[in-house]
Amino acid sequence: MQKSIFGFILSILGGLVLLFLLAPLVKIFLSVTPDDYFITIKDPEVTRSIGLTLWVSLASTLAFSLGAIPLAYLMARKSFPGKRLIQSIIDLPIVIPHSAAGIALLGFLSRDTTLGKLASSVGLDFIGHPLGIGVAMAYVSLPFLINAARNGFQMVPVRLEKAAKVLGASPVRVFFTISLPLAGRSVISGLVMMFARGLSEFGAIVIIAYYPMVTPIMIWERFGTFGLKYAQPVAAVFIAVCLVFFVLIRMLAKEKLDDIN
């Protein structure tokens, strides 16, 4: 009897949390008329913004994963002085306000800084450019990939890696044939979460690149200029697109893992 009551209480509390997460999304979808959806989808400014947001987030995720995944492996396998400090640095973008992160990035990437001048010398620019948007997205979303991948590598038995090395496998081969495949589910989950977090970023991007306009900034601008009625359709369409891409990537990731296993 006590177990059933406890289970009922857990279900009620959990259901309230789910309702809290779902209700605003349902409300925004129901608040937009079919005509508003049609007009928004046909708006070239909206479609360009959504396309820009998607491809920059995906590109930044793939580019920065080349360093993030090896870092996650080192954090999972190696013990060294300052490891806790490095973990704190990795988690720092989650803690600080993202507007502050944008200010910090601006001071690091602006045209009068060393890095900004170096980029300008080869025809690149971080400010007001998709490159700057990608850097801002990556800065706030990298912890999700690094921490998820680190947890995955920690779950891989060390004895398997040692056995492969005893049999003559090089560290590179051990990493790509044992460590990475066995941690694959966590790594892919981290990639998906990094991509998704990049899609939603606003605070850091608005400091680095107001234009070209990513969709979170467009939603904010239309709300500030025209009000809720004009911001809701863009928000609803963007939420729907994000959900579709999120589900598709999850499905593709699951199929890839099934092939590996």
Residue at 19 is within a domain: no
Which pLDDT tens digit goes with each residue over 181-195?
A: 999 989 998 999 999
Q: How far apart are CA 137 and CA 133, in angstroms?
A: 6
Specify the pLDDT at position 3: 66
Percent over 70 (pLDDT), the chain? 95
Residue at 13 is within a domain: no
Please compute, for residue 46, the number of CA atoms within 13 A of its CA located in the half-sphere on the CB side. Answer: 22
Residue at 224 is within a domain: yes
Specify the pLDDT at position 256: 58
Confidence class of residue 137 from pLDDT cuts 50, 70 and 90?
very high
Residue at 20 is within a domain: no
Specify the pLDDT at position 115: 82
Range of the domain at 142: 33-260
SS3 string, the chain, reads CHHHHHHHHHHHHHHHHHHHHHHHHHHHHHHCCHHHHHHHHHCHHHHHHHHHHHHHHHHHHHHHHHHHHHHHHHHHHCCCCCHHHHHHHHHHHHHCCHHHHHHHHHHHHCCCCHHHHHHHHCCCCCCCCHHHHHHHHHHHHHHHHHHHHHHHHHCCCHHHHHHHHHCCCCHHHHHHHHHHHHCHHHHHHHHHHHHHHHHHCCHHHHHHCCCCCCHHHHHHHHHHHHCHHHHHHHHHHHHHHHHHHHHHHHHHHHHHHHHHC
Specify the pLDDT at position 168: 87
Q: What is the pTM of this model?
A: 0.89
Which pLDDT tens digit goes with each residue over 64-87?
A: 999 999 999 999 998 889 899 999
- Best-predicted range by mean pLDDT among 109-113, 124-128, 204-208, 251-255? 204-208
Residue at 43 is within a domain: yes
Residue 227's CATH number: 1.10.3720.10
Residue at 11 is within a domain: no
Mean pLDDT estimate for the chain: 90
Q: What is the mean pLDDT of residues 20-36?
A: 91
Q: How far apart are CA 233 and CA 40, in angstroms?
A: 6
Percent over 90 (pLDDT), the chain? 67
**How many domains is the chain built from?**
1
Q: Report the first-to-last Cα separation within the chain, whole angstroms.
A: 42
Q: What is the mean pLDDT of residues 141-167?
A: 93
Residue at 65 is within a domain: yes
102 neighbors 206 (Cβ within 8 angstroms): yes
Q: Is the pLDDT of residue 170 over 70?
A: yes
Q: Is the pLDDT of residue 253 over 80?
A: no
Residue at 218 is within a domain: yes
Q: Which of 86-90, 180-184, 242-246 has the lowest mean pLDDT?
A: 242-246
Specify the pLDDT at position 4: 80
Confidence class of residue 2 from pLDDT cuts 50, 70 and 90?
low
